[in-house]
Amino acid sequence: MSTDVLPATAPSLLSGNDLRQCLRIATGGTWMFFISKLFNLEYGAFFCVYPVLLLGLVPRLNGHLVRQFFAQSVVVNLEVGLLYGLFGDRPRLMIPIVFLLFFYRFALMARGQLFLFSALGVVFLAIQLNFASYPQTNVIDMLWCNSLAVASAALVAGLMFYLFPDVAPRQPRAPADKDRASTRHEALLGATVATLSVVVFQSLNLIDSLSALVASNLLLFPMHWKGAHFAGRIRAVGTLLGCAMAMAIMLLFYSHHDVLPLLTLALWIAMMIGARWHGLEKGISGVGLSALTTLAILFGQSLSPANDIIFQILYRFSSVCVAVVLTLFAVFLVHRLLNRFECTRHMSH
């Protein structure tokens, strides 16, 4: 697990471990898609995105990582429940609290501690804050669906690691050395821009822009300007790849997108392509993971037997591109502001 950006060049061949991870991501993601559509579960994006993120960010599964995964879900549920229970009718009072909730997560990430807890917590918190902000949302029902989706994702991840285990031991990535000023810089930058993203999405009533919201948060994982502006380009490319594959599937099936078994097979093939790209990037959040999350959100949240996703595909790509540009602009401004002070100056400036 890492928040680094991609290297300049990537190997052209997958290792045995990379191939197993591809199979875990594609099979786990499509299995949860099949189950969510078969039982017509609410908040299908939860059920499809969570296993993709978990299997994509975690090349090895152990008790410590599983505890982090469950802990972040419990913490996010409590935070969202208390936040909307106490301040649901006073959204302006929620802004500084939301900043603090993001800040401690980015601080953990900047120090290299509890990466899975903090990284997934950022994404899950942003998604649930967005859903919970709308009057038609029953927050309690949403939290129950989130809990069920987390438990399902953990079970599916465990099954995938059992069915497709690594063929060789993996070497852990060495954490980057940072000074304290850089750590402060990264925590403040991530929390500030993540909070701005939540405020903008809620103020503009962008309930149908979940892909853009997730993209704007994943873009912050490098937590510094040099990493973020490179991540922005690959995020747009990954979204384009995911949208292109989703469009190809919809054109192939045309009016038969309600044939769930065949659609699941087509989605598995598309996810294998995205997972292979992710494997070539050596598990770092890049084009492959962007394509995978785009597919998971499009098919998990928007597709139904009575509704195809042609319009949603076009809308998702345009909204993600706009979100990436605006997020990069915000990152640049906050980066320049923080670098004016010695105590928050990043070592990469």
Q: In angstroms, how far is CA 95 from the centroid of its own chain?
A: 22
Q: Which tens digit of pLDDT belongs to each residue from 286-310?
A: 889 999 999 998 898 877 766 767 8
Helix ranges restricted to H, the chain: 16-38, 44-57, 63-87, 91-110, 115-132, 139-163, 180-203, 210-218, 225-253, 260-280, 287-297, 310-338
Per-residue confidence band for 5, with pLDDT thresholds at 50, 70 and 90: very low
For the segment 213-251, what is each residue's pLDDT rounded down to a tens digit? 888 888 898 888 888 888 888 888 998 899 999 999 999
CA angle 12, 172, 69 (to 5 degrees): 105
Give me the residue label for tokens 């991870």. Answer: 21
Residue spans of the domains in the chain: they are 16-167+177-344
pLDDT digits (tens, 9 = 90+) for 163-184: 999 998 887 766 667 789 999 9
What does the block give as tokens for 5?
């950006």
Q: Identify any residues that bridge with 58 across adjacent strands, giving them in sequence order.
A: none
User: Which residues, in sequence order, are CB contacts of 263 under 8 Å at separation 6+?
Assistant: 249, 253, 257
Angstrom distance (rounded) from CA 172 to CA 175: 9
| Mean pLDDT over each residue of the chain, to the nearest integer | 88
One-letter amino acid of 61: L
Residue 201 banded pLDDT, cuts 50, 70, 90? confident
Does 316 score more than 90 pLDDT?
Answer: no
**pTM of the predicted model over 0.75:** yes
Q: What is the pLDDT of residue 349?
A: 62
Q: What is the pLDDT of residue 164?
A: 96
